[in-house]
């Protein structure tokens, strides 16, 4: 059984990322002209600030320098966090998206935009925003009903702390 470069890199780098208190979310190797770019996406339940990103970036760079995992050619290492409109794939992604607005593509067809209120092992409790003056409604969505889910950017959302004040 052959393993891809991404799988070998994941096996090499995941323990190092975990030791920094982060989850290794994605590894991607792209060719840009003659150079290669290794993109590593990390995250945690509490997020990853710039200092943590810098620390893990230095640790990954040192580890890659002491191995031949990227081969002989030049490459650029980019370490970052998932984007604002991240795709939710793992259970932990849904947990981290509690209180966020998410666009769901449903397995049965159609789309649903709702706020995640609670996540358990079987699925999600959602609040579906009301339309044109109607009140929001509650809905339960089981994981098998979800084809794809992506966090939505909200520019004018009130923070919970502001609402409680």
| Tens of pLDDT, residues 101-126 | 999 999 999 999 999 999 999 999 99
Mean pLDDT of the chain: 87
Cα separation, 34 vs 74, in Å, equals 8
Q: Which of 118, 52, 110 minimizes the C-alpha distance to 79?
A: 52
Residue 28, by phi and psi: left (phi above 0), alpha (psi -120 to 50) or beta? beta
- Residue-wise pLDDT for 29-82, tens only, equals 888 777 889 999 999 888 888 899 999 999 999 999 998 888 878 889 999 988
Nearest to 8 by CA among 61, 57, 58, 64: 64
pLDDT of 159 reads 54
In three-state secondary structure terms, 143 is helix
Q: Is the pTM of this model over 0.85?
A: no
């Amino acid at each position: 059984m052959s393993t891809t470069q991404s799988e070998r890199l994941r096996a090499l780098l995941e323990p190092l990322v975990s030791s920094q208190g982060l989850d290794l979310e994605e590894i991607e190797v792209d060719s840009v002209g003659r150079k290669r770019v290794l993109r590593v996406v990390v995250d945690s339940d509490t997020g990853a600030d710039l200092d943590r990103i810098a620390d893990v970036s230095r640790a990954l760079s040192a580890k890659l320098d002491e191995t031949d995992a990227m081969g002989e050619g030049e490459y650029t290492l980019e370490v970052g966090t998932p984007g604002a409109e991240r795709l939710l794939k793992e259970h932990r992604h849904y947990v981290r998206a509690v209180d966020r607005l998410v666009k769901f593509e449903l397995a049965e067809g159609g789309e649903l935009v709702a706020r995640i209120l609670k996540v358990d092992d079987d699925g999600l409790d959602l609040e579906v925003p009301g339309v044109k003056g109607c009140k929001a409604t509650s809905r339960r969505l089981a994981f098998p009903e979800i084809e794809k889910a992506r966090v939505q950017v909200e520019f004018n959302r009130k923070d919970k702390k502001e609402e409680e004040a």
